[in-house]
Amino acid sequence: MRAETLIALAGAHGIDLGRVARMAPPRGRGRKLLTPRKNGVNGKETRTAVKPEWTLAEIGAAAAGVPAIPFMAACYAFAGQRSDFWKLHGALFREAQALQERNYWPVEVIDLHGLPRPYLAHLAKLVLDEDATPQLFRTAPQLYSIYLGVSEKVWDKSIAERFGALKLVWLDWLGHAAAIMQPRLAAEEE
């Protein structure tokens, strides 16, 4: 969903995203694989140049053997690399379809206008967008239902559980990549 569309939908539902953004905790660099080594000093007047947490060679070596999808997920979540967004969306959508078959989820849900509409592609995209901007969704949880164009009742009753199941797939990919990369990055620090 484009930012303009989300802003318009939130405004139509009486949500002030500017206020939500001000209430949200400050956004840092995102998740970290490890606590980085200390690169600075503790003086007020000390001038230092902070080195990157890891060199490209260290990250590349740590990522050797990580399967493609978990690696793209790790780059998206840990480094903010958005270039593989649509590949990740496609992989999550295929996982959502597999979950749908296994758990007998309906193909469509009832939207705000009472009309049935497919939702799995939007659900896959929501997982990625929520991961990229968690502070907005934590501060205004009604954005989940607005994002999918359904009522909060429909979200709470049926879709939230499906979202949780798909998010577990996403977190599994991140955990798989981190499990391979963390020990290697820790060994580089020693």
> What does each C-alpha distance from 44 to 30, 36, 40, 143, 165 come to in angstroms?
26, 21, 11, 42, 48
pLDDT tens, position by position, for the chain (190 residues)? 555 565 556 666 566 655 555 555 555 445 555 555 555 556 555 555 555 455 546 666 788 889 999 989 988 888 788 899 999 999 999 999 999 999 999 999 999 999 999 999 999 999 999 999 999 999 999 999 999 999 999 999 999 999 999 999 999 999 999 899 888 888 766 6
pTM, whole model, 2 decimals?
A: 0.74
Backbone region of residue 149 per phi and psi (left: phi > 0; alpha: psi in -120 to 50; beta: other values): left
CA distance 163 to 170: 11
